[in-house]
Amino acid sequence: MTVAVEQRNEQRLYVDWPIWFAEDYGKTFYCGRILAISSTAVSLSCYLTKKSLPSGKQITVYFKVPHLDIANLTQVGRIFRIDTIDGNFRRIVILFDEPLPFKPSELELLNPSFAAAV
């Protein structure tokens, strides 16, 4: 049996938050749910047809971190991977071009009420 070696530099925060994403402002917006997030990437689930967005495509994501005094966040990144979960239900990993201004895995340190909300 092969054991996978953890290669992440930062712990991820596993959440269930809404997220919206599009190729460009004014193009079709897609809605999904964040599965996991770090300061450099986000994993989300959504319904998406196969030809909608190819891997490597630049994309803009919009989301809000609940219970923090942070406005809506807008991040530009690239689609790293798209996995088919079932039919048109997909898991998408997006790598941000610039990291978030905070580390999501450390949010409960910034705001103690956050841990209870997640």
Instruction: Specify the DSSP element, H or E, that contains 115.
Output: helix 112-117
Half-sphere exposure of 69 (CA within 13 A, CB side): 3
Q: What is the rounded CA–CA span in Å between residue 53 and residue 67? A: 31
Which residue ranges form the domains of the chain, and what is each CATH number? 13-117 (2.40.10.220)
* Strand spans (E) along 1-118: 13-22, 30-37, 41-47, 58-63, 73-86, 89-96
Residue 1 confidence (pLDDT) above 60: no
Which pair of tokens denotes residue 41? Answer: 């990437």
Q: Indicate the Cα dihedral angle 90, 7, 116, 101, nearest 10°.
A: -90
The pLDDT tens digits of the residues spanning 69-116 come to 666 899 999 999 999 999 889 999 999 999 998 888 887 665 655 555
Is the model more confident about 19 or about 27?
Answer: 19
Residue 118 confidence (pLDDT) above 80: no
